[in-house]
Amino acid sequence: GMESLPSLVEYCRTATATPSGVQILRMWWDTDRGDGIFAKSNVHITLQVLDQFGTPMLGDNETIVSATLDSTTSQGAMLEGIRSNVSVAGVVELHYLRFSQDGEFDLHFGIGGNRVQMMRVVVSPHEDDRFGPTGKCGQEFFAKLNSFAPSFAVNSSQLVAGQDHDPLRVQEKVSYMTWPSSLEAMSSCSRILEEAGVRVTSGWGGDLWVWYRPAMEALDTGVGLPTASMDFWTRLGLSSTASARDVRKAYYRQSLVWHPDRWASYPLHRRLAQDAFEVISEAYRQLVSLSSGGAAGK
């Protein structure tokens, strides 16, 4: 009623402006393929911080705004890049955001853990980069690999061949691909395989012998890859009844696989491996804090 109007006016006159929302000032992306956002391509967003009345906070230099994907609708997709930044004169810039796969996603902007703005983003498939969980080469290539029978003797000198130049390289796995799949795979994927660090040699009767790090298969197919949509236990491959010791051992094993130093010389896999490492590290930190609080490790 009218009697509340003076108090409302007084509140508006004396209230301290607090960051409560954002407005998108500009959004653009790196692509030469027309108007549209493509998976794995850089997206840049400039945001204006707003107070509780919807007024731009032009003098604000301390508000942190974060961008996240709604995990309930992301279908395993990950948002990569500079996902949070602090305001300068009321403006926040988020650069090099990348969607790991195509689809329709709800992109949320948050302040202080509270979601204040949402934007629906339609992401098109990235057809040029054919590796990664959505790439045709990764999906088709690994599906056609066969494991050698346990009785087949691949001696240790073969297993470590070619690894002297890279001391951080974990033990490689060797598989084979039969003719004619071998010809088809090499004709369409040879360049990208070489860039990815997969080594291919000629076997018998047109077969190919393929040397690769086991974790590459997870990165290139998405199967077995820890993601932000998983709970903390699952990211480390554990059940919720695992002890604190189990958590430490699992994190140690996983960090050996995903640590960025181990992928420094693999440009096609480096970004995805970095994301996996961040995901397991967050899980470890959270589970350790739960354990120290008495909720785990009993």
> Which pLDDT does position 128 carry in this prediction?
53
First to last CA, the chain: 58
Q: Which CATH architecture has domain 226-292?
A: Orthogonal Bundle (1.10)
The angle subtended at Cα 292 by Cα 287 and Cα 294, nearest 5°, is 95
Tell me the whole-structure pTM to 2 decimals. Answer: 0.45
Q: How far apart are CA 10 and CA 12, in angstroms?
A: 5
Concatenating the DSSP letter of every residue in 32-49 gives SSSSSEETTS-EEEEEEE
Please answer whether residues 100 and 81 qualify as being in contact, where contact means their C-beta atoms are separated by less than 8 angstroms.
no
Q: Region of 294 please: left (phi>0), alpha (psi -120 to 50) or beta.
A: left
State the greatest distance between any 2 C-alpha atoms of the chain, in Å, as a whole number: 92
> Which pLDDT does position 31 carry in this prediction?
64
**CATH 2.60.40.10 residue ranges for the chain:** 2-124
- CATH number of the domain at 2-124, please? 2.60.40.10
Please answer whether residues 137 and 170 qualify as being in contact, where contact means their C-beta atoms are separated by less than 8 angstroms.
no
For the record, the structure tokens of 144 come out as 């056609």
**In terms of DSSP bridges, do strands 19-29 and 43-51 run parallel, antiparallel, or are they unpaired?**
antiparallel
**DSSP assignment, residue 279?**
H
> Which pLDDT does position 178 carry in this prediction?
72
**CATH 1.10.287.110 residue ranges for the chain:** 226-292
Backbone φ and ψ of 283, nearest 5°: -60, -45
> Which pLDDT does position 179 carry in this prediction?
64
Q: How far apart are CA 294 and CA 60, in angstroms?
A: 40
> Which pLDDT does position 171 carry in this prediction?
56
> Which pLDDT does position 157 carry in this prediction?
37
**DSSP assignment, residue 219?**
H
Helix (H, G, I), strand (E, B) or coil at 207: coil
CB contact set of 67 (below 8 Å; sequence gap of 6+): 45, 79, 83, 84, 94, 97, 107, 108, 109, 110
Helix (H, G, I), strand (E, B) or coil at 229: coil
Q: How far apart are CA 275 and CA 96, in angstroms?
A: 14
* Per-residue confidence in pLDDT tens, the chain, 298 aa: 555 777 777 776 777 889 999 999 999 887 655 567 888 778 899 999 999 989 999 999 999 999 999 877 777 788 888 888 999 999 999 988 888 888 889 999 999 889 999 999 998 876 555 555 546 666 667 777 766 655 444 443 344 433 433 333 445 667 767 766 666 666 667 667 766 667 777 777 667 777 777 777 777 777 778 887 788 899 998 888 888 889 989 898 888 888 888 787 776 777 778 888 988 998 998 888 877 765 433 3
Q: Is CATH 3.30.450 correct for 136-220?
A: no
**CATH 3.90.1070 residue ranges for the chain:** 136-220
Q: How far apart are CA 56 and CA 119, in angstroms?
A: 19
Backbone φ and ψ of 213, nearest 5°: -80, 135
